[in-house]
Structure 1
Amino acid sequence: MAEDRAGTPLVEAIREAIVRGEFVPNQRLVESDLSTQFDASRASVRAALLELTNEGLVERIQNRGARVRAVSLSEAVEISEVRMVLEGLCAAKAAVAVTGEEIRELQSIGASMCEAVAEGDLLGYSSLNQELHRRVREIGGQATASRLLERLRGQNVRHQFRLAMHPGRPSVSLPEHLAIIEAICTHDPEAADAAARGHLRSVIKALKEVDRSGAPPAR
């Protein structure tokens, strides 16, 4: 029923649709369409869009309703700079807290990332990339940083996808991710922090290079 999807679950469902690219930047979000798609009341959809507006994923246009907010390159760089600090913190926390079972899990993700790059599976690599960052946040257990990073990830999803699909990028980012895994698995918080920050510095550099190339988003 409509009421069953009201509140937080509906917000999460629309948020994930934006993050996955089901709704593209500047796309109008029509309340009646969302109500049908998510089996929710119009009032619930309206409340969810208000919350997502507060998160920076949606913007309200006077007399035109809501749409997915587009993020400029300069804002994408700023978001990545904030992520640099938070990802470093989470990686350092994970290096302290990681268990033997979690070490094996992270190493397995790293091995799968290597296979994806070797096979040229860009979408698979992109998915594993997100999984690795998510697990590092979860293992680190820094709930506030995790919430902030999840919001930032949603705002930056278009640039992240464009970067992930850029030719040659996975071969650059793979060793950076493996360095994060190695530092966490050896319980070295300082190295984990440095590796995570180094990776985000690389992301910022690549974002600027991809923008200068003028390559269209890989959709």
Structure 2
Amino acid sequence: MTAVTSTATRADLTKTLRDAIVSGEYAPNQRLIEADLSTTYGASRAAVRTALLELGAEGLVDRLPNRGSRVRAIPLEEAIEILEVRMSLEGLCAAKAAENITDAEIAEFATLRADILAASESDLFEYSRLNQHLDRRIREIADHPTAVAILERLRAQGVRHQFRLAFYPGRAAVSAPEHAAIIDAISSRDAARAEAETRAHLGSVILALRSIG
């Protein structure tokens, strides 16, 4: 677990706890004890409490009356609703990225495209990491702070279900070409196609999640 110094800002601690929850360091329904977190991250109890309140507002933590906090378990149907909302926002970001992308970034995406396709056949952990990197780069190139801020919150809530899906047998063979199609559209500076390919990919994710339950 990542340590946080006593001088770390509240935002640092909130981000560190968010990342730990999203990455699975804390399991769904696991209790989050303020004293333990204070020791683990080198932060004050007040800072931990504030961070937990913020994560509660984000939907990642449940605050239990007189029992502290626990990691919120996101049900499948809610995860699917989140994906339905993300379709619009991620489609927007893909379109903006297609409008903004530079020649250097197109070259970067060409390398990333090849790496994603190769990893999908041999290394699913690396494939998952590369997909997350692609998503992050699209948001950065899109340069749309409002959409990105909302997406960061939504993605954190639904990431566990998508991580499980990424390792489902045969899924990479379906999703890798979808990611390649998104890259191709953005690199072609075709905003409409970039949005359509992104929406189609997330629609495919929803169908796959429903099929595996």
Same fold flag (TM > 0.5): yes
1:59-208 residue pairs with structure 2 within 5 A?
59-119=62-122, 121-208=123-210
Provide the secondary structure at the position in 2 that maps to 1:59: strand
Distance 1:141 1:110 in 2: 21
- Unpaired stretches in structure 2, ≥5 consecutive residues: none
**Aligned-pair distance for 1:5?**
2.0
> Are the equivalent residues in 2 in contact too, given 1:93–1:141 (CA < 8 A)?
yes
Residue from 26, 32, 36 that aligns with 1:33: 36
Provide the secondary structure at the position in 2 that maps to 1:207: helix
**Aligned-pair distance for 1:48?**
0.4
1:59-107 per-residue CA deviation (whole Å, 9 max, x = no partner) reads 1112211011111111011000011001100000000000011111112
- Name the amino acid aligned to 2:204: S
**Are 1:43 and 2:43 matched, yes or no?**
no
Aligned-residue RMSD, C-alpha: 1.1
> Are the equivalent residues in 2 in contact too, given 1:7–1:44 (CA < 8 A)?
yes
**Aligned-pair distance for 1:173?**
0.4
Residue from 54, 58, 64 that aligns with 2:57: 54
Distance 1:151 1:64 in 2: 25
**Aligned-pair distance for 1:109?**
1.2
TM normalised by structure 2 equals 0.96
Provide the secondary structure at the position in 2 that maps to 1:23: coil
Provide closer, same or farther for how the CA distance between residues 42 and 2 of structure 1 changes in structure 2, counting only shifts above 3 A. farther
Distance 2:62 2:145 in 1: 26
Provide the secondary structure at the position in 2 that maps to 1:60: strand
1:166-201 per-residue CA deviation (whole Å, 9 max, x = no partner) reads 111111001110010000000000000000000000
> Are the equivalent residues in 1 in contact too, given 2:98–2:187 (CA < 8 A)?
yes
Provide closer, same or farther for how the CA distance between residues 6 and 43 of structure 1 changes in structure 2, counting only shifts above 3 A. farther
Partner residue of 1:214? none
1:92-141 per-residue CA deviation (whole Å, 9 max, x = no partner) reads 0000000011111112111111111121x111111111110110011000
Percent identity of paired positions between Structure 1 and Structure 2: 56
Distance 2:103 2:70 in 1: 45
TM normalised by structure 1 equals 0.93
**Structure 1 segments of 4 or more deviating over 4 A?**
none
Provide closer, same or farther for how the CA distance between residues 169 and 99 of structure 1 changes in structure 2, counting only shifts above 3 A. same
